[in-house]
Amino acid sequence: MADGNKDSRRRFGRRGRDRSERKEEQKPKLPDLPALTCGICEKQIFDLSSALTDRGGGDPVHFDCALSKAATGESLGPDEKVAYIGHGSFAVIQFKDKTQTTFIIKRRIEWERDGNKLEWRKVMQRRMGI
């Protein structure tokens, strides 16, 4: 290297290509979702991935709002609480021990109907590439 020659190390990458030849693939622009509001508390929903569908219609609601609404009217005994068990359902569960690691499902509370594909969920799934 002391003799003035170019650096002899190999260089990897797109050397020699003109910048105009490097075209990045353009992803198709997806429609923007309008600002959606919770059907229960009337506040804006910022995280649609955790939103559930309102029981009465197809509007999205906050997960916490759905949980509190599902819990209203449920008479809970000792060591019981309302929890989300997946697939759009809540349940009244009773813990078997004080560590709260094992539980029994006492009553199931259906929240979302299975198989409903709503427009706001379709757009969100397209955005996430699902």
Q: How far is CA 5 from the centre of its chain?
A: 57
pLDDT value of residue 108: 94
Angle at 88 between CA 38 and CA 92, to 5 degrees: 100
Res. 79 pLDDT band, cuts 50 70 90: confident
* Residue-wise pLDDT tens digits, 81-115: 999 998 889 999 998 888 888 899 999 998 887 76
The residues pairing with 82 across neighbouring beta strands, listed in sequence order, are: 92
Helix (H) or strand (E) holding 95: strand 89-95
Q: Is residue 18 part of a domain?
A: no
The secondary structure of residue 37, as a DSSP letter, is B
Q: Is residue 9 part of a domain?
A: no
| Phi and psi, residue 120, nearest 5° | -65, -30
Structure token pair of residue 41: 């508390």
Q: Is residue 5 part of a domain?
A: no
Give how many domains the chain has, as a whole number: 1
Q: Is residue 121 part of a domain?
A: yes
Q: Is residue 49 part of a domain?
A: yes
Please tell me the pTM assigned to this model: 0.65
Of the candidates 36, 68, 31, the residue with the CA atom closest to the CA atom of residue 49:
36
Provide the domain limits for residue 103: 31-128
Structure token pair of residue 94: 């009773």
| CB neighbourhood size of 53 (10 A) | 20
Q: Is residue 7 part of a domain?
A: no
